[in-house]
Structure 1
Amino acid sequence: MENQKRTTIYDIAKKLNLNASSVSRALNGSSNVSEKTKELILKTAKELNYRQNSIASNLRKGENRTIGVVVPRINQNFFSNVIAGIEEVTYQKGYNLIICQSNESYQREIKCVDTLINQHVSAIFLSISADFEDNEHLKSVGEHQIKLIQFDRVDDELDTFKVLCGNEEASFEAVEHLLTQGYRRIALLEGPQNLNIFRQRKKGYLSALAKHGLSLLPELIVENAWTRELGAAATEKLLALPQPPDAIFASTSDFAALGVLDVAQARGLKVPQELGIIGFSNEAFTEITQPSITTIDQFSKEIGKNVANLYFQKLSKTASSETNKIVSIRPKLIIRGSTLRNGI
């Protein structure tokens, strides 16, 4: 089947022997066209399967009710919930979303941003990729008069609106919980330290150890273990130490924590008696593992709502010029079976 050319207002005008301007006015509901002519134009437009180019139309009106969202991974519960929160607000405001996935690639992130700029979106909501290098592509967003709001993983150097999670506080609380359960050799699975969220989580881990008089043991920290497979590999490495850990805090993700649980069960280690496990993000599966996994709920949908609301507050002429540029969402430690060694 041959591809058919998209119908334009010129096709409708040609068929009806009218001016294109008359067709355009009729399609846009102008009162300068008679009702009889308007009905004929609308009927013909339907017959020819005409669809209005909303981007072009909005640009002519000086607006574009489309927002771009760039996330590292769409298939993670955290980011899909953020998108759901954004969409809940933008839908009510009559805005559409274009979702892009960087797949943790800095080069793909640049392409995503360029594509959205070329689509003339009114705003870009973005969480940076794992191998983020510099912010030149983000600076160009503002140069095109497009609003930029960063969330979760952000570039601290850029003075933009940001919605963050209290990562340091959450990590501190998680490690302190392990300490109250009697764990002492607590390992950390950390993410790329070029990302703000993983620097903050490591800082919370170190602060909790320091508060309880425990020294940092470099051999108990494993870098970039944030998938199930990498979490499992990191656990094998840690358990092979002469003095293995008695707890592992997978500050990278619940997927890494699941990898820890896989290895513990394969080795016949009792969780939580012999090994405590904490993840991060409150993925749905953490409730149904045996034992269930202690984790940190970041309230990702609320993050999404706050991102969208920040944009509309900034857009509103009645909004206060004192609108906070940084919104922080307080996460919650969800204690489950994988750390309840004392049963409390």
Structure 2
Amino acid sequence: MKAKKRVTIYDIAKKLNVTPSSVSRALNNSSYVNETTKKLILKTAEEMNYKRNTLASNLRRGQSKTIGVVVPRINQNFFANVIAGIEEITYKKGYNIIICQSGESYEKEVQSVNTLINQHVDCIVISISVDTEDYKHLQNVIDHQIQLIQFDRVAEELETLKVINDNEQASFEAVSHMISQGYRRIALLEGPQTLNIFRQRKNGYLQALAKHQMPVIDELIAQNAWTKELGATATRQLLSLSNPPDAIFASTSDFSALGVLEVANSMNFKVPQELGICGYSNENFSEITSPSITTIDQFSVYMGKTIANLFFQESENLQVETIPKVISIKPKLIARSSTEKNQQ
């Protein structure tokens, strides 16, 4: 079935035998059109099912009233909540958001950013993919004088607005909590060290061991164990050691922590008595597993609201040059059954 052609102001003008500028003025409630003509134009526009081209109208005013958001995964609770927080604020301000998913692909991320630039968005909000090591596409955003706000996973060398978590402190508290519960051989599932968040979380782990005068054991650090499948594979190897860990900090996500729990159950390790487990990001399922998984809440909805408010604060600032801002949000450790060894 052929799609119906969109009705334009020229179609209305032709039907009423008036100028397109008269139609435009009437639709914008201008006083330069007499009331009788204005009412006739508005009535005809409604009858012809005319829909205003909001984007074109906004662009004529020098803005699109649209914000683009690029995230690695839309179906992860953290990113979904950040988007919800952004939308809650932008909706009140009459802005729309366009959501793009990179799928952890650098090429798809670049394509998404270029699409948003071509859409003339007022701002691009991005959390970079695990594959992203070249930032030319982000510099391109800046060169187009589009506001760029990075969050969570950021290119630290680019001077842009950033909203981040204190990952180092959160990891320090998580590992310290496990030590306080009596765990002594704590393994780390780390993510790709190209990403700032995984470097920071590893640093927090190392700092906690040093603070409590515990040795760093190389065989207990599993590299690139940042998905459920990779976390499960790493856990199988760790628990097969002659001297296996008695706790695992899945610093990458609750998904990798879930992989740890499934393998521990299949290998008959009792959680938390024989193996403590801590994840990261407070995914919805972490509270309903058996046992429930200790995790770290990143206050993702609040992060989204902070991002949106930062954009509006900056866009309303009349100064030509502003100092780049970095806002750090302190996450919260949520201790649950998977690490409560002393409660058993």
For the aligned pair, the TM-score class normalised by the smaller chain equals over 0.9
- 2:110 maps to what in 1? 110
Does residue 1:307 correspond to 2:286, yes or no? no
Q: How far is the alpha carbon of 1:318 from its aligned partner?
A: 7.2
Which TM-score applies when normalising by structure 2? 0.96
CA displacement, residues 241-266 of structure 1 (integer Å, 9 cap, x when unaligned) = 12111110000100110111111111
- 1:33 maps to what in 2? 33
- 1:286 maps to what in 2? 286
Report the secondary structure of 1:33's partner residue: coil
Q: How far is the alpha carbon of 1:166 from its aligned partner?
A: 0.6
Report the residue type matching 2:220 in the other structure. Answer: L
Report the secondary structure of 1:194's partner residue: coil
**Distance in 1 between residues matched to 2:317 and 2:254, nearest whole Å:** 42
What RMSD, in angstroms, separates the aligned Cα atoms of the two structures?
Answer: 1.6
Does residue 1:164 correspond to 2:170, yes or no? no
**What is the correspondence of 1:293-332 to structure 2 with a 5 Å cutoff?**
293-317=293-317, 325-332=325-332
Name the % identity: 67
The answer (yes or no) to whether the contact 2:160–2:324 under 8 Å persists in 1 is no
Q: How far is the alpha carbon of 1:215 from its aligned partner?
A: 2.2
Does residue 1:124 correspond to 2:124, yes or no? yes
CA displacement, residues 52-90 of structure 1 (integer Å, 9 cap, x when unaligned) = 111111111122211111111110000011011111111
Report the residue type matching 1:82 in the other structure. Answer: V
- 1:254 maps to what in 2? 254
- 1:89 maps to what in 2? 89
CA displacement, residues 102-146 of structure 1 (integer Å, 9 cap, x when unaligned) = 111111111111111111111111111110021111111121121
Report the secondary structure of 1:311's partner residue: helix
**Distance in 2 between residues matched to 1:117 and 1:54, nearest whole Å:** 17
Report the residue type matching 1:35 in the other structure. Answer: E
- 1:141 maps to what in 2? 141
- 2:214 maps to what in 1? 214
Q: How far is the alpha carbon of 1:324 from its aligned partner?
A: 6.9
Report the residue type matching 2:258 in the other structure. Answer: L
- 1:187 maps to what in 2? 187
The answer (yes or no) to whether the contact 2:190–2:251 under 8 Å persists in 1 is yes
Report the residue type matching 1:220 in the other structure. Answer: L
- 2:16 maps to what in 1? 16
Report the secondary structure of 1:338's partner residue: helix
**Distance in 2 between residues matched to 1:43 and 1:224, nearest whole Å:** 63
Report the secondary structure of 2:338's partner residue: coil
Q: How far is the alpha carbon of 1:216 from its aligned partner?
A: 1.8
Does residue 1:339 correspond to 2:339, yes or no? yes
Report the residue type matching 2:168 in the other structure. Answer: E
Report the secondary structure of 1:342's partner residue: helix
**Distance in 1 between residues matched to 2:17 and 2:143, nearest whole Å:** 43
Aligned length: 344
The answer (yes or no) to whether the contact 2:159–2:324 under 8 Å persists in 1 is no
Report the residue type matching 1:49 in the other structure. Answer: N
**Structure 1 gap segments, 5+ residues each:** none
The more displaced of 32-41 and 332-341 is 32-41
Q: How far is the alpha carbon of 1:323 from its aligned partner?
A: 7.3
- 2:68 maps to what in 1? 68
Report the residue type matching 2:243 in the other structure. Answer: Q
